[in-house]
Chains A and B, each alone.
Chain A
Protein backbone atom coordinates (compact mmCIF):
# COMPACT_ATOMS: atom_id res chain seq x y z
CA UNK A 1 0.00 0.00 0.00
CA UNK A 2 1.24 3.41 -0.85
CA UNK A 3 0.18 6.99 -1.06
CA UNK A 4 0.78 6.88 -4.80
CA UNK A 5 -2.20 5.19 -6.43
CA UNK A 6 -0.89 5.38 -9.95
CA UNK A 7 2.66 5.79 -11.16
CA UNK A 8 3.71 5.90 -14.79
CA UNK A 9 7.45 6.18 -15.32
CA UNK A 10 8.90 6.75 -18.80
CA UNK A 11 6.10 4.77 -20.41
CA UNK A 12 6.36 4.19 -24.15
CA UNK A 13 3.95 2.44 -26.42
CA UNK A 14 3.88 1.63 -30.10
CA UNK A 15 1.09 0.44 -32.36
CA UNK A 16 3.28 -1.51 -34.77
CA UNK A 17 5.77 1.20 -35.77
CA UNK A 18 3.56 4.11 -34.72
CA UNK A 19 4.95 5.65 -31.53
CA UNK A 20 1.70 6.49 -29.74
CA UNK A 21 2.97 7.23 -26.20
CA UNK A 22 6.31 8.97 -25.69
CA UNK A 23 7.93 8.96 -22.25
CA UNK A 24 4.78 9.40 -20.24
CA UNK A 25 5.42 10.30 -16.59
CA UNK A 26 2.45 10.65 -14.32
CA UNK A 27 1.85 10.24 -10.61
CA UNK A 28 -1.60 10.23 -9.06
CA UNK A 29 -1.86 10.28 -5.27
CA UNK A 30 -4.74 8.86 -3.26
CA UNK A 31 -7.78 11.11 -3.52
CA UNK A 32 -6.27 13.17 -6.32
CA UNK A 33 -8.22 14.12 -9.45
CA UNK A 34 -6.37 14.37 -12.72
CA UNK A 35 -7.96 15.75 -15.87
CA UNK A 36 -6.37 14.98 -19.23
CA UNK A 37 -7.17 17.04 -22.30
CA UNK A 38 -5.70 17.38 -25.74
CA UNK A 39 -6.60 17.11 -29.40
CA UNK A 40 -8.13 13.98 -30.83
CA UNK A 41 -5.55 11.29 -31.57
CA UNK A 42 -3.04 12.65 -29.06
CA UNK A 43 -3.00 9.43 -27.03
CA UNK A 44 -5.32 10.28 -24.13
CA UNK A 45 -7.37 7.10 -24.37
CA UNK A 46 -4.25 5.01 -24.77
CA UNK A 47 -2.76 6.38 -21.54
CA UNK A 48 -5.90 5.54 -19.63
CA UNK A 49 -6.27 2.13 -21.27
CA UNK A 50 -2.70 1.22 -20.37
CA UNK A 51 -3.50 1.72 -16.70
CA UNK A 52 -5.90 -1.24 -16.61
CA UNK A 53 -4.10 -3.19 -19.30
CA UNK A 54 -6.67 -2.86 -22.06
CA UNK A 55 -3.51 -1.86 -23.92
CA UNK A 56 -0.01 -3.14 -23.25
CA UNK A 57 2.92 -0.72 -22.92
CA UNK A 58 6.30 -1.67 -24.32
CA UNK A 59 8.70 0.13 -22.04
CA UNK A 60 8.68 1.97 -18.76
CA UNK A 61 6.91 1.13 -15.53
CA UNK A 62 3.25 1.38 -14.57
CA UNK A 63 2.31 0.74 -10.95
CA UNK A 64 -1.18 0.78 -9.54
CA UNK A 65 -1.35 0.91 -5.75
CA UNK A 66 2.23 -0.37 -5.66
CA UNK A 67 1.59 -3.36 -7.95
CA UNK A 68 3.55 -3.29 -11.19
CA UNK A 69 1.74 -4.11 -14.43
CA UNK A 70 3.51 -6.95 -16.18
CA UNK A 71 2.34 -9.96 -18.13
CA UNK A 72 1.63 -11.62 -14.80
CA UNK A 73 -2.05 -12.54 -14.93
CA UNK A 74 -2.48 -12.28 -11.16
CA UNK A 75 -1.09 -8.74 -11.13
CA UNK A 76 -3.41 -7.74 -13.97
CA UNK A 77 -6.39 -9.24 -12.15
CA UNK A 78 -5.46 -7.43 -8.92
CA UNK A 79 -5.11 -4.14 -10.71
CA UNK A 80 -8.33 -4.53 -12.68
CA UNK A 81 -10.17 -5.22 -9.44
CA UNK A 82 -8.96 -1.87 -8.07
CA UNK A 83 -9.52 0.22 -11.17
CA UNK A 84 -12.96 1.06 -12.53
CA UNK A 85 -13.45 2.39 -16.02
CA UNK A 86 -16.17 4.38 -17.74
CA UNK A 87 -16.17 4.49 -21.53
CA UNK A 88 -17.35 7.10 -24.00
CA UNK A 89 -19.80 4.60 -25.51
CA UNK A 90 -21.08 3.37 -22.09
CA UNK A 91 -20.55 -0.29 -23.13
CA UNK A 92 -23.47 -1.52 -21.09
CA UNK A 93 -24.50 -5.12 -21.75
CA UNK A 94 -27.59 -4.70 -23.94
CA UNK A 95 -29.01 -8.18 -23.30
CA UNK A 96 -29.15 -7.65 -19.53
CA UNK A 97 -31.38 -5.44 -17.41
CA UNK A 98 -29.81 -2.49 -15.62
CA UNK A 99 -29.77 -4.47 -12.37
CA UNK A 100 -28.21 -7.52 -14.04
CA UNK A 101 -25.54 -5.26 -15.57
CA UNK A 102 -24.66 -4.18 -12.05
CA UNK A 103 -24.70 -7.54 -10.25
CA UNK A 104 -22.73 -9.50 -12.87
CA UNK A 105 -19.29 -8.35 -11.69
CA UNK A 106 -19.93 -8.60 -7.93
CA UNK A 107 -21.44 -12.09 -8.34
CA UNK A 108 -19.06 -13.63 -10.85
CA UNK A 109 -15.80 -11.87 -10.10
CA UNK A 110 -16.29 -11.25 -6.38
CA UNK A 111 -18.41 -14.25 -5.46
CA UNK A 112 -21.17 -12.27 -3.75
CA UNK A 113 -24.59 -13.87 -3.35
CA UNK A 114 -27.37 -12.56 -5.55
CA UNK A 115 -29.02 -10.89 -2.56
CA UNK A 116 -25.84 -9.12 -1.46
CA UNK A 117 -25.00 -8.12 -5.02
CA UNK A 118 -28.51 -6.74 -5.48
CA UNK A 119 -28.27 -4.71 -2.27
CA UNK A 120 -24.98 -3.28 -3.42
CA UNK A 121 -26.29 -2.58 -6.92
CA UNK A 122 -29.35 -0.73 -5.58
CA UNK A 123 -27.12 1.30 -3.29
CA UNK A 124 -25.06 2.54 -6.24
CA UNK A 125 -28.10 3.06 -8.45
CA UNK A 126 -29.41 5.39 -5.77
CA UNK A 127 -26.03 7.02 -5.69
CA UNK A 128 -26.37 7.88 -9.40
CA UNK A 129 -30.05 8.70 -8.79
CA UNK A 130 -31.80 6.17 -11.02
CA UNK A 131 -32.90 3.31 -8.77
CA UNK A 132 -36.31 3.27 -10.48
CA UNK A 133 -34.72 2.12 -13.75
CA UNK A 134 -33.30 -1.13 -12.35
CA UNK A 135 -35.65 -3.39 -14.30
CA UNK A 136 -35.19 -1.76 -17.70
CA UNK A 137 -32.93 -2.70 -20.57
CA UNK A 138 -30.13 -0.18 -21.35
CA UNK A 139 -31.69 0.61 -24.75
CA UNK A 140 -34.80 1.95 -22.96
CA UNK A 141 -32.76 4.62 -21.16
CA UNK A 142 -31.50 8.00 -22.33
CA UNK A 143 -27.78 8.41 -22.99
CA UNK A 144 -27.27 10.30 -19.75
CA UNK A 145 -29.04 7.58 -17.79
CA UNK A 146 -27.00 4.88 -19.53
CA UNK A 147 -23.76 6.59 -18.63
CA UNK A 148 -24.87 6.91 -15.00
CA UNK A 149 -25.66 3.18 -15.00
CA UNK A 150 -22.18 2.55 -16.41
CA UNK A 151 -20.67 4.60 -13.56
CA UNK A 152 -22.75 2.67 -11.03
CA UNK A 153 -21.64 -0.60 -12.62
CA UNK A 154 -18.00 0.35 -12.05
CA UNK A 155 -18.71 1.47 -8.50
CA UNK A 156 -20.28 -1.88 -7.56
CA UNK A 157 -16.78 -3.32 -7.84
CA UNK A 158 -15.73 -0.77 -5.18
CA UNK A 159 -12.62 0.36 -7.05
CA UNK A 160 -9.90 2.54 -5.53
CA UNK A 161 -9.35 4.44 -8.74
CA UNK A 162 -11.83 5.45 -11.44
CA UNK A 163 -10.85 6.11 -15.05
CA UNK A 164 -13.17 8.10 -17.29
CA UNK A 165 -12.52 8.22 -21.02
CA UNK A 166 -14.54 11.11 -22.45
CA UNK A 167 -17.64 10.09 -20.50
CA UNK A 168 -19.81 12.89 -21.88
CA UNK A 169 -18.60 13.11 -25.48
CA UNK A 170 -21.32 10.81 -26.81
CA UNK A 171 -24.11 12.61 -24.98
CA UNK A 172 -26.62 15.18 -26.14
CA UNK A 173 -25.74 18.54 -24.56
CA UNK A 174 -28.73 18.56 -22.21
CA UNK A 175 -27.59 15.28 -20.62
CA UNK A 176 -23.99 16.22 -19.96
CA UNK A 177 -24.59 17.91 -16.63
CA UNK A 178 -26.44 14.99 -15.03
CA UNK A 179 -23.37 12.82 -15.64
CA UNK A 180 -20.89 15.50 -14.57
CA UNK A 181 -22.88 16.04 -11.36
CA UNK A 182 -22.44 12.41 -10.44
CA UNK A 183 -18.71 12.67 -11.16
CA UNK A 184 -18.37 15.82 -9.05
CA UNK A 185 -20.06 14.10 -6.14
CA UNK A 186 -17.68 11.14 -6.52
CA UNK A 187 -14.77 13.56 -6.43
CA UNK A 188 -16.18 15.20 -3.28
CA UNK A 189 -16.24 11.78 -1.62
CA UNK A 190 -12.53 11.48 -2.19
CA UNK A 191 -12.41 9.05 -5.13
CA UNK A 192 -9.10 8.96 -6.96
CA UNK A 193 -9.93 9.81 -10.56
CA UNK A 194 -8.36 10.23 -13.97
CA UNK A 195 -10.75 11.92 -16.34
CA UNK A 196 -10.21 12.48 -20.04
CA UNK A 197 -12.57 15.29 -20.94
CA UNK A 198 -12.96 18.59 -22.69
CA UNK A 199 -15.45 19.85 -20.11
CA UNK A 200 -13.28 22.60 -18.71
CA UNK A 201 -15.95 23.81 -16.28
CA UNK A 202 -15.83 20.39 -14.65
CA UNK A 203 -12.03 20.42 -14.74
CA UNK A 204 -11.85 23.77 -12.92
CA UNK A 205 -14.25 22.48 -10.30
CA UNK A 206 -12.55 19.19 -9.42
CA UNK A 207 -9.07 18.90 -10.91
CA UNK A 208 -5.99 18.84 -8.70
CA UNK A 209 -3.78 18.31 -11.71
CA UNK A 210 -4.32 19.23 -15.35
CA UNK A 211 -2.55 17.44 -18.16
CA UNK A 212 -2.37 18.52 -21.78
CA UNK A 213 -1.31 15.91 -24.31
CA UNK A 214 -0.35 16.32 -27.92
CA UNK A 215 1.30 13.90 -30.33
CA UNK A 216 1.69 11.18 -27.70
CA UNK A 217 3.47 13.44 -25.21
CA UNK A 218 2.50 15.19 -22.03
CA UNK A 219 3.17 18.75 -23.18
CA UNK A 220 2.04 20.56 -20.08
CA UNK A 221 0.90 19.58 -16.62
CA UNK A 222 0.23 21.20 -13.27
CA UNK A 223 -2.46 22.55 -10.98
CA UNK A 224 -5.45 24.19 -12.71
CA UNK A 225 -4.60 27.74 -11.73
CA UNK A 226 -1.45 28.39 -13.70
CA UNK A 227 -2.61 25.82 -16.26
CA UNK A 228 -5.74 27.67 -17.36
CA UNK A 229 -4.45 31.20 -17.01
CA UNK A 230 -0.79 30.91 -17.86
CA UNK A 231 -0.07 27.84 -19.97
CA UNK A 232 3.57 27.87 -20.97
CA UNK A 233 3.45 26.10 -24.32
CA UNK A 234 1.92 27.69 -27.38
CA UNK A 235 0.22 24.42 -28.33
CA UNK A 236 -1.59 24.24 -25.01
CA UNK A 237 -2.59 27.92 -25.11
CA UNK A 238 -4.00 27.48 -28.59
CA UNK A 239 -5.91 24.33 -27.64
CA UNK A 240 -7.37 25.95 -24.51
CA UNK A 241 -8.43 29.09 -26.31
CA UNK A 242 -10.20 26.95 -28.90
CA UNK A 243 -12.18 24.82 -26.49
CA UNK A 244 -12.86 27.57 -23.98
CA UNK A 245 -14.68 29.51 -26.70
CA UNK A 246 -17.51 26.97 -26.68
Chain B
Protein backbone atom coordinates (compact mmCIF):
# COMPACT_ATOMS: atom_id res chain seq x y z
CA UNK B 1 0.00 0.00 0.00
CA UNK B 2 2.83 2.39 0.86
CA UNK B 3 4.42 1.71 -2.50
CA UNK B 4 1.15 2.49 -4.21
CA UNK B 5 0.81 5.80 -2.43
CA UNK B 6 4.39 6.75 -3.15
CA UNK B 7 3.89 5.95 -6.80
CA UNK B 8 0.70 7.98 -7.00
CA UNK B 9 2.36 10.94 -5.28
CA UNK B 10 5.28 10.73 -7.65
CA UNK B 11 3.01 10.70 -10.66
CA UNK B 12 0.98 13.58 -9.29
CA UNK B 13 4.06 15.67 -8.64
CA UNK B 14 5.57 15.00 -12.02
CA UNK B 15 2.29 15.83 -13.69
CA UNK B 16 2.26 19.20 -11.96
CA UNK B 17 5.85 19.90 -12.84
CA UNK B 18 5.48 19.31 -16.54
CA UNK B 19 1.86 19.52 -17.50
CA UNK B 20 2.75 19.38 -21.17
CA UNK B 21 3.57 15.64 -21.21
CA UNK B 22 0.77 14.50 -18.92
CA UNK B 23 -2.90 14.72 -19.79
CA UNK B 24 -4.77 13.22 -16.89
CA UNK B 25 -8.04 14.63 -18.20
CA UNK B 26 -8.64 11.31 -20.04
CA UNK B 27 -9.32 9.66 -16.72
CA UNK B 28 -10.37 12.65 -14.64
CA UNK B 29 -13.42 11.38 -12.73
CA UNK B 30 -14.76 14.91 -12.31
CA UNK B 31 -15.36 15.29 -16.04
CA UNK B 32 -18.08 13.33 -17.82
CA UNK B 33 -15.77 11.85 -20.44
CA UNK B 34 -13.07 11.00 -17.90
CA UNK B 35 -15.58 9.18 -15.70
CA UNK B 36 -16.91 7.19 -18.66
CA UNK B 37 -13.33 6.20 -19.55
CA UNK B 38 -12.58 5.08 -16.02
CA UNK B 39 -15.71 2.95 -15.92
CA UNK B 40 -14.82 1.44 -19.30
CA UNK B 41 -11.35 0.52 -18.06
CA UNK B 42 -12.41 -0.89 -14.69
CA UNK B 43 -15.17 -2.93 -16.27
CA UNK B 44 -12.45 -5.18 -17.70
CA UNK B 45 -11.65 -6.26 -14.13
CA UNK B 46 -14.58 -8.69 -14.05
CA UNK B 47 -13.29 -10.67 -17.02
CA UNK B 48 -9.68 -10.61 -15.83
CA UNK B 49 -10.74 -12.04 -12.47
CA UNK B 50 -13.20 -14.53 -13.96
CA UNK B 51 -10.82 -15.91 -16.57
CA UNK B 52 -8.08 -16.19 -13.93
CA UNK B 53 -10.31 -17.95 -11.42
CA UNK B 54 -11.65 -20.50 -13.89
CA UNK B 55 -8.18 -21.13 -15.33
CA UNK B 56 -6.81 -21.55 -11.80
CA UNK B 57 -9.57 -24.05 -11.02
CA UNK B 58 -8.68 -26.17 -14.04
CA UNK B 59 -4.99 -25.82 -13.37
CA UNK B 60 -5.41 -27.01 -9.78
CA UNK B 61 -7.23 -30.15 -10.95
CA UNK B 62 -4.96 -30.78 -13.94
CA UNK B 63 -1.83 -30.15 -11.87
CA UNK B 64 -2.78 -32.90 -9.40
CA UNK B 65 -3.42 -35.29 -12.27
CA UNK B 66 -0.01 -34.48 -13.75
CA UNK B 67 1.76 -34.72 -10.38
CA UNK B 68 0.51 -38.19 -9.41
CA UNK B 69 2.59 -40.16 -11.95
CA UNK B 70 5.68 -38.31 -10.67
CA UNK B 71 5.15 -40.04 -7.31
CA UNK B 72 4.98 -43.53 -8.77
CA UNK B 73 7.79 -46.02 -8.34
CA UNK B 74 7.36 -46.89 -12.02
CA UNK B 75 9.99 -45.14 -14.09
CA UNK B 76 7.89 -44.69 -17.22
CA UNK B 77 5.16 -42.90 -15.29
CA UNK B 78 7.72 -40.52 -13.82
CA UNK B 79 9.10 -39.93 -17.30
CA UNK B 80 5.64 -39.01 -18.62
CA UNK B 81 5.35 -36.42 -15.86
CA UNK B 82 8.80 -35.00 -16.63
CA UNK B 83 8.04 -34.70 -20.35
CA UNK B 84 4.75 -32.91 -19.69
CA UNK B 85 6.23 -30.49 -17.18
CA UNK B 86 9.33 -29.66 -19.22
CA UNK B 87 7.40 -29.37 -22.47
CA UNK B 88 4.61 -27.16 -21.17
CA UNK B 89 6.97 -25.01 -19.15
CA UNK B 90 9.13 -24.27 -22.15
CA UNK B 91 6.36 -22.96 -24.41
CA UNK B 92 5.96 -19.16 -24.23
CA UNK B 93 2.42 -18.21 -23.40
CA UNK B 94 1.65 -16.18 -26.54
CA UNK B 95 2.43 -18.94 -29.08
CA UNK B 96 0.48 -21.39 -26.94
CA UNK B 97 -2.46 -18.98 -26.93
CA UNK B 98 -2.34 -18.67 -30.74
CA UNK B 99 -2.13 -22.43 -31.09
CA UNK B 100 -5.14 -23.01 -28.85
CA UNK B 101 -7.24 -20.19 -30.28
CA UNK B 102 -6.49 -20.57 -33.98
CA UNK B 103 -5.16 -24.14 -34.21
CA UNK B 104 -7.22 -26.25 -31.81
CA UNK B 105 -10.59 -25.61 -33.57
CA UNK B 106 -9.09 -27.03 -36.77
CA UNK B 107 -8.13 -30.22 -34.93
CA UNK B 108 -11.61 -30.41 -33.43
CA UNK B 109 -13.13 -29.95 -36.88
CA UNK B 110 -10.97 -32.70 -38.37
CA UNK B 111 -12.31 -35.02 -35.67
CA UNK B 112 -15.82 -34.09 -36.70
CA UNK B 113 -16.41 -32.02 -33.57
CA UNK B 114 -17.96 -28.61 -33.85
CA UNK B 115 -16.46 -26.94 -30.80
CA UNK B 116 -15.92 -23.24 -31.34
CA UNK B 117 -13.32 -21.61 -29.10
CA UNK B 118 -14.17 -18.05 -28.17
CA UNK B 119 -11.54 -15.68 -26.75
CA UNK B 120 -12.69 -16.34 -23.20
CA UNK B 121 -12.33 -20.12 -23.34
CA UNK B 122 -9.23 -19.84 -25.49
CA UNK B 123 -7.67 -17.84 -22.68
CA UNK B 124 -8.93 -20.22 -19.99
CA UNK B 125 -7.53 -23.30 -21.73
CA UNK B 126 -4.16 -21.70 -22.43
CA UNK B 127 -3.71 -20.27 -18.95
CA UNK B 128 -4.79 -23.53 -17.31
CA UNK B 129 -2.43 -25.59 -19.47
CA UNK B 130 0.51 -23.31 -18.99
CA UNK B 131 -0.05 -23.00 -15.25
CA UNK B 132 -0.63 -26.74 -14.73
CA UNK B 133 3.09 -27.45 -15.19
CA UNK B 134 3.79 -25.19 -12.24
CA UNK B 135 0.96 -26.43 -10.03
CA UNK B 136 2.06 -30.01 -10.78
CA UNK B 137 5.50 -29.20 -9.40
CA UNK B 138 3.95 -27.60 -6.32
CA UNK B 139 1.89 -30.74 -5.66
CA UNK B 140 4.85 -33.02 -6.28
CA UNK B 141 7.16 -31.30 -3.85
CA UNK B 142 4.35 -30.88 -1.30
CA UNK B 143 3.43 -34.54 -1.41
CA UNK B 144 7.05 -35.72 -1.46
CA UNK B 145 7.72 -33.68 1.65
CA UNK B 146 5.41 -36.02 3.56
CA UNK B 147 7.60 -38.78 4.94
CA UNK B 148 7.47 -42.20 3.28
CA UNK B 149 6.60 -43.75 6.63
CA UNK B 150 3.16 -42.19 6.38
CA UNK B 151 2.35 -44.04 3.16
CA UNK B 152 3.75 -47.27 4.58
CA UNK B 153 1.72 -46.99 7.77
CA UNK B 154 -1.41 -46.33 5.71
CA UNK B 155 -0.75 -49.36 3.53
CA UNK B 156 -0.19 -51.62 6.55
CA UNK B 157 -3.62 -50.72 7.94
CA UNK B 158 -5.14 -51.76 4.67
CA UNK B 159 -5.82 -48.43 2.97
CA UNK B 160 -5.78 -48.41 -0.83
CA UNK B 161 -3.65 -45.98 -2.84
CA UNK B 162 -6.58 -43.61 -3.30
CA UNK B 163 -7.55 -43.79 0.39
CA UNK B 164 -3.95 -43.21 1.43
CA UNK B 165 -3.86 -40.05 -0.70
CA UNK B 166 -7.27 -38.86 0.40
CA UNK B 167 -7.05 -39.43 4.15
CA UNK B 168 -3.34 -39.41 4.95
CA UNK B 169 -1.11 -37.67 2.41
CA UNK B 170 -3.16 -34.82 0.93
CA UNK B 171 -4.50 -33.48 4.25
CA UNK B 172 -0.91 -33.16 5.43
CA UNK B 173 0.48 -31.91 2.13
CA UNK B 174 -2.25 -29.32 1.68
CA UNK B 175 -0.76 -26.88 4.15
CA UNK B 176 2.49 -26.94 2.23
CA UNK B 177 0.69 -26.81 -1.11
CA UNK B 178 -1.94 -24.15 -0.56
CA UNK B 179 0.23 -21.07 -0.03
CA UNK B 180 2.41 -21.61 -3.15
CA UNK B 181 -0.72 -22.51 -5.10
CA UNK B 182 -2.35 -19.23 -4.13
CA UNK B 183 0.87 -17.48 -5.03
CA UNK B 184 0.70 -19.10 -8.42
CA UNK B 185 -2.65 -17.35 -8.93
CA UNK B 186 -0.68 -14.13 -9.31
CA UNK B 187 1.06 -15.67 -12.32
CA UNK B 188 -2.29 -16.44 -13.95
CA UNK B 189 -3.65 -12.94 -13.33
CA UNK B 190 -0.60 -11.36 -14.92
CA UNK B 191 -0.52 -13.76 -17.84
CA UNK B 192 -4.23 -13.20 -18.52
CA UNK B 193 -3.18 -9.86 -20.07
CA UNK B 194 -2.14 -11.85 -23.16
CA UNK B 195 -5.79 -12.70 -23.76
CA UNK B 196 -6.17 -9.12 -25.00
CA UNK B 197 -4.37 -10.21 -28.17
CA UNK B 198 -7.16 -12.58 -29.16
CA UNK B 199 -9.74 -9.95 -28.35
CA UNK B 200 -10.94 -10.80 -24.89
CA UNK B 201 -12.45 -7.79 -23.13
CA UNK B 202 -10.27 -7.75 -20.05
CA UNK B 203 -8.18 -5.00 -18.43
CA UNK B 204 -5.41 -4.81 -21.01
CA UNK B 205 -7.70 -5.03 -24.01
CA UNK B 206 -9.79 -2.15 -22.70
CA UNK B 207 -6.76 0.03 -22.11
CA UNK B 208 -5.54 -0.74 -25.63
CA UNK B 209 -8.86 0.19 -27.17
CA UNK B 210 -8.99 3.46 -25.31
CA UNK B 211 -5.42 4.30 -26.27
CA UNK B 212 -6.41 3.96 -29.92
CA UNK B 213 -9.25 6.44 -29.57
CA UNK B 214 -7.79 8.84 -27.00
CA UNK B 215 -4.07 8.93 -27.96
CA UNK B 216 -3.07 9.01 -24.31
CA UNK B 217 -0.88 5.89 -23.83
CA UNK B 218 1.14 7.24 -20.89
CA UNK B 219 -1.86 7.94 -18.64
CA UNK B 220 -3.91 4.95 -19.72
CA UNK B 221 -1.12 2.39 -19.37
CA UNK B 222 -0.16 3.92 -16.06
CA UNK B 223 -3.73 3.41 -14.93
CA UNK B 224 -3.65 -0.14 -16.30
CA UNK B 225 -0.52 -1.00 -14.34
CA UNK B 226 -2.08 0.39 -11.20
CA UNK B 227 -5.13 -1.81 -11.74
CA UNK B 228 -2.93 -4.93 -11.87
CA UNK B 229 -0.95 -3.68 -8.91
CA UNK B 230 -4.07 -3.39 -6.76
CA UNK B 231 -5.24 -6.84 -7.85
CA UNK B 232 -1.91 -8.48 -7.11
CA UNK B 233 -1.52 -6.72 -3.77
CA UNK B 234 -4.90 -8.04 -2.70
CA UNK B 235 -3.96 -11.60 -3.70
CA UNK B 236 -0.58 -11.34 -1.92
CA UNK B 237 -2.34 -10.24 1.24
CA UNK B 238 -4.55 -13.32 0.86
CA UNK B 239 -1.50 -15.56 0.43
CA UNK B 240 0.16 -14.15 3.53
CA UNK B 241 -3.01 -14.72 5.53
CA UNK B 242 -3.13 -18.31 4.25
CA UNK B 243 0.53 -18.88 5.12
CA UNK B 244 -0.04 -17.66 8.67
CA UNK B 245 -3.09 -19.90 9.08
CA UNK B 246 -1.38 -22.98 7.69
CA UNK B 247 1.67 -22.29 9.84
CA UNK B 248 -0.52 -21.97 12.93
CA UNK B 249 -2.21 -25.26 12.07
CA UNK B 250 1.10 -27.05 11.78
CA UNK B 251 2.20 -26.02 15.24
CA UNK B 252 -0.63 -27.57 17.23
Question: Which residues does A use to contact B, with CB under 8 Å?
Answer: 52, 54, 77, 80-81, 83-85, 87, 89, 91-95, 104-105, 108-110, 137, 150, 153-154, 156-157
B152, B153, B156: the one within 8 Å of A92 (CB): B153
Contact (Cβ within 8 A) A87 B149: yes
B153, B163, B171, B172: the one within 8 Å of A108 (CB): B163
A230 CA to B14 CA, complexed, in Å: 96
Contact (Cβ within 8 A) B156 A154: yes
A52, A108, A110, A137: the one within 8 Å of B156 (CB): A52
Q: What secondary structure prevails in chain B residues at the interface with A?
A: helix
Complex interface: chain A residues within 8 A of B252 (CB) = 137
Contact (Cβ within 8 A) B152 A77: no
Q: Does B159 contact A (CB under 8 A)?
A: yes
Q: Can you give 28 A-B contacts (C-beta < 8 A)? A: A52-B156, A54-B152, A54-B155, A54-B156, A77-B158, A80-B155, A80-B156, A80-B158, A84-B156, A85-B152, A85-B153, A85-B156, A89-B149, A91-B150, A91-B153, A92-B153, A93-B154, A93-B168, A93-B172, A94-B172, A95-B171, A95-B172, A105-B157, A108-B159, A109-B159, A109-B160, A156-B157, A157-B157
Question: Which residues does B use to contact A, with CB under 8 Å?
Answer: 147, 149-150, 152-160, 163, 167-168, 171-172, 252
Smallest CB gap from A84: residue in B: B156
- Smallest Cβ distance from A173 to chain B, in angstroms? 23
A-B pairs, 5 with minimum CB distance: A109-B158, A105-B157, A91-B153, A91-B149, A85-B156
A157 CA to B159 CA, complexed, in Å: 11
- Smallest Cβ distance from A67 to chain B, in angstroms? 15
Smallest CB gap from A85: residue in B: B156
A154 CA to B147 CA, complexed, in Å: 19
Complex interface: chain A residues within 8 A of B172 (CB) = 93-95
A94 CA to B171 CA, complexed, in Å: 10
Q: A104-B167, A108-B167, A137-B252 are in contact. Are A93 and B153 (CB under 8 A)?
A: yes
Complex interface: chain A residues within 8 A of B158 (CB) = 77, 80-81, 105, 108-110, 157
Contact (Cβ within 8 A) A109 B153: no
Complex interface: chain B residues within 8 A of A89 (CB) = 149
Contact (Cβ within 8 A) B159 A105: yes
Residue among B152, B158, B252 with the highest chain A CB neighbour number at 10 A: B158
A77 CA to B157 CA, complexed, in Å: 10
- Smallest Cβ distance from A104 to chain B, in angstroms? 6
Contact (Cβ within 8 A) A109 B152: no
A185 CA to B167 CA, complexed, in Å: 31
- Smallest Cβ distance from A159 to chain B, in angstroms? 9
